Chain A
Amino acid sequence: MTAAAACIERDADLMLRVREGDDVSFALLLEKHRRPLIHFLYRMVQNQAVSEELAQEVFLRVYKARLSYEPTAKFTTWLFRIASHLAINWLRDRRNERSQDSLDQTNPDGMQVQVADTSLTREEELIRQARLAEVRRAIETLPPKQRAAVMMHKYQEMGYAQIAKALNCSESAVKSLLFRAYETLRARLAHMV
């Protein structure tokens, strides 16, 4: 059995135990998937508080669905399907709500977390922060579904088939989403060294 297949079975097995009322297995699933899920959501919504709130909603839904759970699909695909669904809806709702708000770091609701690099001089740090802001703006220009595809492809290292299942579309649609998204990112970010 390959490591990937063993991992799939392990998650499904844990979820089946959660179905039987074993809360320790839920804690193990939470421990395993918490970080990648929150990071995915953070990269999607660019807001720490919202990413954690959405991650809580994902785990809550998984827990609530435990009694009817059947291991018909890979657990992580299901998890990221719920997560991308929630994040895309949040982005669409927010876009409708605040068309005039600034997308930069001065956003009043503490959008981005500024992680200072202490090894840099003040000037270098300012340049670094400006570059990060530019990258974030480039990501924010991507439509929600393209953004989700890039985040799953780049950071979760998912294949086209798995992204397609998570986004409920065909593999060719995923390739098209990624092609357009990376084209946009290349146009906006390729000048950065």
Chain B
Amino acid sequence: METPISCPAKDRRGSELFLSYAAGLMSTPERATFESHMVDCTECRRVAEEQKRVWSVLDALPVPAISSNFDERLYARIAAEERRPWWQSVLHPGFSFRFSTAAPVAAACAALAVMLVMRTPHPAPAPVQPAPATATVQQKLDPNQIEQNLDDLDMLRQLTAPASEASNGQS
């Protein structure tokens, strides 16, 4: 015997039912219960019918063919990006300042500077030395790339483990 349901059209949470119904994602018992309710509920019948129409209208929306040289352009872009020195990335019009990333970095730099100043006992005259080997390494660092990677990895880290998603059954 079907369990009667409270009217989904009168409950905001009921919108999920209309979406599931239109998408054909309801189980057979859920569908039977919902359809049984709609026999007597004109409002739910109307919303369900409208949602189905929206669904089919969206299905009919065409998408264009993908350019045949898409991959070629992407690989050229990747190659260009790998060749580009870091200072060009900074001067590039696409470079964008991200406060969320820059602020912690600036704070860390400031803290480091303060620590260095405090830990230096005397301003002793240092002998002039040749440039340290790290200079070469520093030149190879790309701040823009690091910043962008941090940004992208931030997005990745905020997501939970894939195991929980696998349980959702989505591909």
Q: B81 an interface residue at 8 Å Cβ cutoff?
A: yes
B54 within 8 A of A: yes
Partner of A73 from B12, B13, B47, B165 at Cβ < 8 Å: B165
- A162-B145 Cα distance, complex, nearest whole Å: 27
Q: How far is the CA of A183 from the CA of B2 in the complex (A)?
A: 28
Which listed residue, B60, B74, B159, B162, touches A60 by the CB 8 Å rule?
B74
Q: Is the CB of B153 within 8 A of A159?
A: no
Question: Does A135 sit at the interface, judged by CB under 8 A?
Answer: yes
Which residue of chain A has its CB nearest to the CB of B157? A72
Interface residues of A, CB < 8 Å — how many? Answer: 68
CB closest chain-A residue, reference B58: A154
Secondary structure type dominating chain A contacts: helix
Query: Quick check: which of B32-40, B61-69, B120-128 contacts chain A, the rest being far away?
Result: B61-69
Q: B50 to chain A: which residues have CB within 8 Å?
A: 186, 190
Tell whether, in the assembled complex, residue A74 and residue B74 are in contact, meaning their CB atoms are under 8 Å apart.
no
A contact residues around B168 at 8 Å (CB): 4, 159, 161-162
B161 x A132 contact (CB < 8 A): no
Count of chain B residues near A, Cβ 8 A? 49
Point out the residues of chain B lying under 8 angstroms from A154, CB to CB.
55, 58
For the complex, give the distance between the alpha carbons of A1 and B113 in Å: 52
Question: In the docked arrangement, what's the CA distance between A157 and B169, Å?
Answer: 11
Contact flag A71-B162 (CB < 8 Å), given A175-B16, A189-B57 = yes
Which residues 137-163 in B have Cβ within 8 Å of A in the complex? 145, 148-149, 152-153, 155-162
Q: How far is the CA of A59 from the CA of B66 in the complex (A)?
A: 15
- Asked whether, in the complex, the Cβ of A48 is within 8 Å of the Cβ of B64, the reply is yes
Q: Which residues in chain A, 129-163, are within 8 Å of chain B measured between CB atoms? A: 131-132, 135-136, 153-155, 157-159, 161-162
CA distance A7 to B19 in the complex (A): 26
When distances are taken between beta carbons in the complex, the residues of chain A under 8 Å from B145 are 64
B70 at the interface (CB under 8 A from A): yes
With contacts A3-B171, A61-B148, A193-B53 taken as known, whether A70 is within 8 angstroms of B156 at the C-beta atoms is yes
Footprint of A on B, CB under 8 Å?
12-13, 15-16, 18-19, 47, 49-51, 53-55, 57-58, 60-64, 66-67, 70-71, 73-74, 77-78, 81, 145, 148-149, 152-153, 155-162, 164-166, 168-171
Residues of A within 8 A of B (CB): 2-5, 7-9, 12, 27, 30, 34-35, 38-39, 42-43, 48, 52, 55-56, 59-65, 67-74, 76-78, 81-82, 85, 113, 115, 131-132, 135-136, 153-155, 157-159, 161-162, 165, 168, 175, 178-179, 182-183, 185-186, 189-190, 192-193
- 7 closest A-B pairs by beta carbon, nearest first, are A73-B159, A190-B50, A113-B64, A5-B166, A179-B15, A186-B50, A115-B62
What are 6 A-B pairs at a CB distance below 8 A?
A67-B149, A68-B153, A70-B156, A113-B63, A113-B64, A161-B165
